[in-house]
């Protein structure tokens, strides 16, 4: 199983990197871009038979290590890649 | 008395802290490798600056799981004085021994300069020799020192007098211009509720001799010595509400 974990700063937290990227895009003429939030993306290859098990493990990893709950939130997608 | 200086892979201010304790203050100091599970009878524990575990993932995020941290946690909960400097402060935040988190500096630059910090609280093991409101000129060197906590938490920190250091102007006023990284409420350092765990972004260990441009940081080490020498390990945990 593969878990995709997206970690992003909470909406209330200022993102200096995202702001800089926004400014750069505006400089390039992409005036339609209103805002950019920069985050982190992880792919976890998990030895699990059931999607629920993979998700539970990814949840635990995301909460304990991959994100800092004080400033970040996360979203998890499980990709069912059955290994023959 | 004995200082323990924890060494993580990537720590780079461990020698400076050890030097300040042993050479400048004449106290015992011992390095403790992060895989060790004993603090070897230390009276004071220092988590030094640097880039523990390369600062991968987030600053301090991996160091918090180092075996020695269990022992640091136990030492802290028993009232032992713990000082986190720069990366050591970030480790304390990730470990939950201090509240809040660090963001990238608002300038996105690695800020390396001398700054003025004001001692807001003197009832901690690392500021008890300071005058209230004393200004210290100490260097900073960090890319992620933009302290963040939710507004409710900041209000609570103020109420419980946990904000130990603030970035200020040379006159001692906390202005936006004197804030080098965007920290909320100009916070440069704070303590836990029990007041025995202190973390700050500036480097007092790099300002312990005039040859280094400032000796203002020495008073923090002297405070620790005084705290321990007082024998009964002064307990500041009851003072927060008392004032």
Ranges of each domain in chain A: 2-79
Q: Do A70 and B100 touch (CB under 8 A)?
A: yes
d(CA B174, CA B225): 29
DSSP-based three-state secondary structure for B136:
strand
Helix (H) / strand (E) element for B7: namely: strand B2-7
Rg (CA), chain B: 16
Q: Is residue B241 part of a domain?
A: no
In a domain, B243, yes or no: no
DSSP E strand boundaries for B43-162: 44-47, 82-85, 101-103, 111-119, 135-142, 146-148
Q: What is the distance between the alpha carbons of residues B89 and B73, in angstroms, rounded to a whole number?
A: 14
Residues contacting B218, CB < 8 A, separation 6+: B20, B24, B25, B204, B207, B208, B209
For all residues of chain B together, what is the average pLDDT?
95
Contacts of B108 in chain A (CB under 8 A): 16-17, 20
SS3 A77: strand
Res. B240 pLDDT band, cuts 50 70 90 = low
On the question of pLDDT at A54 being above 60, the answer is yes
Nearest 5 degrees, angle CA B101-CA B47-CA B229?
120
Domain count, chain B: 1
Residue among B80, B193, B219 nearest B138 (CA): B219
pLDDT of residue B161: 98
User: What stretch of H or E contains A79?
Assistant: strand A72-79
Beta bridge partners of B122: none
Distance CA B189, CA B200 (A): 4
Q: Where are the alpha helices (DSSP H) in chain B?
A: 14-19, 68-77, 87-94, 151-159, 218-229, 239-242
Interface of A with B in 19-58 (CB under 8 A): 20
pLDDT (0 to 100) of residue B239: 62
Q: In the CATH scheme, what is the code of domain A2-79?
A: 3.30.1280.10
Whole-number percent of chain A with pLDDT over 70: 95
Classify A80 as helix, strand or coil.
Answer: coil
- CA nearest to B59 within chain A: A68
Q: Which of B34-48, B192-206, B224-238 has the lowest mean pLDDT?
A: B224-238
Contact status, residue B130 vs residue B122, Cβ threshold 8 Å: yes
**Dist. CA B88–CA B66, nearest whole Å:** 13
- Per-residue confidence (pLDDT) for residue B243, from 0 to 100: 42
pLDDT band at residue B74 using 50, 70 and 90 as cut-offs: very high
Dihedral, B150, B151, B152, B158 alpha carbons, nearest 10: 110
Q: Is B191 in the active site? A: no
Least confident segment among B24-28, B127-131, B239-243:
B239-243
Give the pLDDT band (50/70/90) at residue B236. confident
Question: Best of B57, B111, B143, B147 to disrupt the A interface by mutation (most A CBs within 10 Å)?
Answer: B57
Going from the C-alpha of B200 to that of each of A61, B87, B91, B190, the distances in angstroms are: 28, 9, 11, 7
Percent above pLDDT 90 for chain B: 94
Q: Active site residue: B71, B94, B144, B205, which one?
A: B205
Burial label for B15, CB within 10 Å (0-12, 13-18, 19+), is middle
Q: Residue B189: give the domain boundaries.
A: 2-232
Checking if the pLDDT of B116 tops 70, the result is yes
Q: Is residue B165 part of a domain?
A: yes
Beta-sheet strand order (sheet of A72-79): A39-45, A2-9, A72-79
Q: Cα–Cα distance between B163 and B161 in angstroms, integer? A: 6
- B130 labelled catalytic: no
| Best of A65, A66, A72 to mutate (most B CBs within 10 Å, chain B) | A65
Q: What is the CATH number of the domain that holds B148?
A: 3.40.50.880
Average pLDDT over residues B51-75: 96
Residue B242 binned pLDDT confidence (cut-offs 50, 70, 90): very low
The mean pLDDT value of chain A amounts to 93
pLDDT in the model for residue A80 = 77
């Amino acid at each position: 199983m593969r878990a995709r974990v997206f970690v992003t700063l909470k909406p209330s937290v200022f993102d200096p990197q995202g702001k800089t990227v926004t400014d750069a895009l505006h400089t390039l003429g992409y005036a339609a871009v209103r805002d950019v939030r920069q985050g982190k993306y992880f792919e976890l290859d998990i030895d699990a038979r059931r999607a629920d098990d993979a998700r539970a493990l990814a949840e635990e990893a995301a909460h304990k290590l991959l994100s800092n709950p004080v400033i970040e939130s996360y979203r998890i997608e499980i990709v069912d890649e059955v290994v023959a | 008395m004995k200082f323990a200086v924890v060494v993580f892979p990537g720590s780079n201010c461990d020698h400076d802290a050890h030097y300040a304790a042993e050479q400048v203050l004449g106290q015992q100091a011992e390095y403790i490798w992060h895989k060790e599970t004993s603090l070897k009878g230390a009276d004071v524990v220092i988590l030094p600056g640097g880039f523990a575990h390369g600062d991968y993932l987030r600053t301090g995020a991996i160091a918090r799981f180092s075996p020695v941290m269990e022992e640091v946690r136990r030492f802290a909960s028993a009232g032992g004085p713990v000082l986190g400097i720069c990366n050591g402060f970030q480790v304390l935040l990730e470990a939950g021994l201090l509240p809040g988190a660090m963001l990238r500096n608002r300038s996105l630059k690695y800020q390396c300069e001398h700054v003025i910090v004001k001692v807001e609280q003197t009832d901690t093991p690392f500021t008890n020799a300071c005058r209230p409101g004393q200004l210290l000129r100490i260097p900073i060197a960090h890319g992620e020192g933009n302290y963040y906590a939710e507004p409710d938490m900041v209000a609570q920190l103020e109420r419980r007098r946990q904000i130990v250091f603030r970035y200020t102007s040379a006159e001692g006023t906390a202005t936006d211009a004197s804030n080098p990284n965007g920290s909320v409420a100009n916070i440069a350092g704070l303590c836990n509720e029990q007041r025995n765990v202190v973390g700050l972004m500036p480097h007092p260990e790099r300002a312990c001799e005039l040859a280094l441009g400032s000796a203002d940081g020495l008073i923090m080490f002297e405070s620790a010595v005084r705290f321990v020498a007082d024998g009964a390990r002064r307990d500041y945990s009851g003072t927060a509400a008392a004032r």
